[in-house]
Amino acid sequence: MNESDSHRMGEALARAGWEPTPAAEQADLVLVNTCAIREKAEDKLYSALGRYRLLKTQRGTKIGVAGCVAQQEKERLLRRAPFVDFVLGPDHLDKVPELVRKGGVETAFLETEQYLFPQADPESSRGNATAFVTAMKGCDNVCSFCVVPYTRGREVSRPYAEIVREVASLVAVGVREATLIGQNVNAYAGGCDFAELIRRVAAVPGLLRIRFTTSHPMDLSEALVRCFREVPQLMPHFHLPVQHGADTVLQRMRRKYTIAEYERRIAALPAEIALTSDIICGFPGETDDEHRQNLEFLRRTDYDNLFSFVYSPRPHTGAILKLEEWGEVPREIAIRRLEEVQSLQMARTLKRHRDRVGDTVEVLVEESGFGRSRENWTVHFSGDAQPGDLVNVRVESASLVALRGVQLGVTGSAPRVDPPRKRRLSVVPA
Ligand code: 5AD
Ligand code: SF4
């Protein structure tokens, strides 16, 4: 989501005459787009600001802070880092040129009716095989560890016609894969439900692959499961975060399901789907027995991959208010538990990758010699395929993070893309 927001801000600035520079040292403006999901992400902001402050004194570089930490800290951020010129929440991406001029703080949440989704400029995706497409924003859940509802606000869905139009404009410049994004994307309700949105997007001619992220298990509908079986463009990868394997922890997390319910839901998915998940270790009050239940659940659930984190207390959230009552898990214990979770999953991911050696996998090429399989695995290969090509690759070796192989042949040719449209400018004497 942040990556997509960065693109939208870059496009808004380009319309106002700015161009990107590869090095911050050459910049007239440094815009730091922040994440507040864990404290570590937040700390990164202040160390980055320390570095950019020097540029300001040396060459007058303007400094802006955007994203979820900006939203969370508002004016407080200017008090802590007074050399920052402006602070901009995620609801105001297209206001960035105005804030560069005026400075100040723009972090008010907009009412659902007022909110307009920024439109992607397809030109900035020309030559890319993949693109993110925003389907919805915000989250109406209240998971007790999570700051997102406070930084991204309530759920707002983008009208489906706008999404389909944007996908079509991206396909016209060569994009072959669209990832529909939203904090709780399967709760989409922009004139149709999420399953229907997938079918409408799949109807865009020339689009080869659809992915989506991220989903809450309670919003997984039967209609979405049918899409996995019936929509050939929908890739067999599903990121469905469980967060923990013990019911008592899930209850404290306010996740609204039990492990039995989660397991029932994933059992309904087609067998070939690569299922991935998020896990939090050291959630307040987590006992040895709850951790054991977590490991047991992970052992019997055949996750393709897992993103696991140590719990980080976040402002405003339900869990931080209960921290004393539930009891903080000492950091060393939380880290040890995380390592146990990670080593369990690493062994399994490595085995899954190694089991594919000798197989042929279909890869959408993103850069020369690099692309992704249908399951979203990273694949490096030797061969001459171009970005946007769909190729078969014979897998020759595998590591924890990628497959390596040889290109066998191009199954879908690179899109014919017209050369970039030159902007015409006329200078008229006053
Ligand atoms: N501490 C640790 N991990 C968190 N996540 C969200 N909030 C926290 C937190 N306070 C994790 C969840 C979520 C992923 C994006 O980040 O697992 O699914
Ligand atoms: Fe956060 Fe996801 Fe829960 Fe929403 S559903 S509160 S984004 S963890």
Residue by residue, DSSP assigns 188-232 as -BSSSBHHHHHHHHHTSTT--EEEEE---GGG--HHHHHHHHH-T
- Cβ of 306 below 6 Å from ligand 1: no
What pLDDT, on the 0 to 100 scale, is given for residue 423? 53
What pLDDT score does 413 carry?
60
Confidence of residue 192 (pLDDT cuts 50, 70, 90): very high
DSSP state of 276: E
Q: What is the pLDDT of residue 113?
A: 78
Q: Residue 13 C-alpha to ligand 1 middle, in angstroms?
A: 31
* CA 116 to ligand 2 center in whole angstroms: 22
Find out whether 311 and 334 touch, Cβ atoms under 8 Å: yes
**Ligand positioned closest to the Cα atom of 309:** 1
3-state SS, residue 375: coil
Report the amino acid identity of residue 128: N
Packing angle, helices 194-202 and 160-172, rounded to 10: 30
Q: Say what the pLDDT of residue 103 is.
A: 94
Round to whole Å and give the CA distance between 103 and 360. Answer: 54
Please name which ligand lies nearest the alpha carbon of 281.
Answer: 1
Ligand lying closest to the C-alpha of residue 215 = 2
CB 124 within 8 A of CB 11: yes
The average pLDDT across 174-202 equals 97
What are 253-280's pLDDT values in tens digits? 999 999 999 999 999 999 999 999 999 9
Output the CA 263–ligand 1 centroid distance in Å: 21
Pocket test for ligand 1, best of 146, 277, 283 (most atoms within 8 A of CB): 146
> Which range has the worst mean pLDDT, 109-113, 158-162, 204-208, 409-413?
409-413
Provide the 3-class DSSP secondary structure of residue 190.
coil
Q: How far is the CA of 278 from the centre of ligand 2 (A)?
A: 11
From first CA to last CA, the distance across the chain in angstroms is: 44
Centre of ligand 2 to C-alpha 146, Å, is: 6
pTM of the model: 0.93
Taking 80 as the threshold, does the pLDDT of residue 373 lie above it?
yes
Looking at the chain, the whole-number percentage of residues with pLDDT higher than 90 is 90
**Which ligand 1 atom minimizes the distance to the CA of 312?**
1
Cα–Cα distance for residue pair 268/257, rounded to 1 Å: 16
The pLDDT value recorded for residue 417 is 53
Instruction: Say if residue 184's pLDDT is above 70.
Output: yes
CB atoms within 10 A of CB 282: 22
Contact yes or no for 182/154 (Cβ under 8 A): no
Contact 125, 175 (CB under 8 A): yes
Tell me how far the alpha carbon of residue 183 lies from the centroid of ligand 2, in angstroms: 7
Cα-to-chain-centroid distance, residue 127: 21
Atom 6 in ligand 1: which residue has the minimum CA distance? 146
Atom of ligand 1 nearest to the CA of 146: 7
Which strands make up the sheet holding 130-134, listed edge to edge?
A: 130-134, 177-181, 209-213
Say if CB 227 and CB 201 are below 8 A apart: no
Residue nearest to atom 3 of ligand 2 (CA): 143
Check if 1 has its Cβ closer than 6 Å to any atom of ligand 1. no
Q: Which residues line ligand 2 (CB under 6 A)?
A: 139, 141, 143, 146, 148-149, 183-184, 216
Cβ-based neighbour number of residue 394 at 10 Å: 14
Question: pLDDT tens-digit profile of 71-104?
Answer: 999 999 999 999 999 999 999 999 999 999 999 9
pLDDT tens digit sequence for 118-144: 999 999 999 999 999 999 999 999 999
Judged by its nearest atom, the ligand closest to the C-alpha of residue 307 is 1
pLDDT band at 40 (very low <50, low <70, confident <90, very high): confident
164: CB partners within 8 A, 6+ apart: 200, 201, 203, 204
Ligand positioned closest to the Cα atom of 216: 2
Between the CA of 280 and the centroid of ligand 1 the distance, in Å, is 7
- Across all residues in the chain, what is the average pLDDT? 94
Answer whether 362's CB lies under 8 Å from 373's CB.
yes
Q: What's the pLDDT band for 428 if we cut at 50, 70, 90?
A: low
CA of 148 to the centre of ligand 2 (A): 6
Distance CA 2, CA 119 (A): 15
The yes-or-no verdict on residue 171 having pLDDT over 80 is yes
For position 411, what pLDDT does the model report? 74
Q: What's the mean pLDDT in 193-218? A: 97
The DSSP symbol for 284 reads T
The reported pLDDT for the residue numbered 42 is 78
| 318-371 tens-digit pLDDT | 999 999 999 999 999 999 999 999 999 999 999 999 999 999 999 999 999 999
Extended beta strands in 3-122, E state: 29-34, 62-67, 86-88, 104-106
Which of 72, 141, 147, 214 gets mutated to test ligand 2 (max ligand atoms within 8 A of its CB)?
141
- Longest C-alpha distance within the chain, in Å? 78
Band (41; pLDDT cuts 50, 70, 90) = confident
> From the CA of 145, how far away is ligand 1's center (Å)?
7
The response to whether residue 282 sits with its C-beta less than 6 Å from ligand 1 reads no
CA–CA gap between residue 60 and residue 164 (Å, rounded): 42
Q: What are phi and psi of 283, to 5 degrees?
A: -65, 145
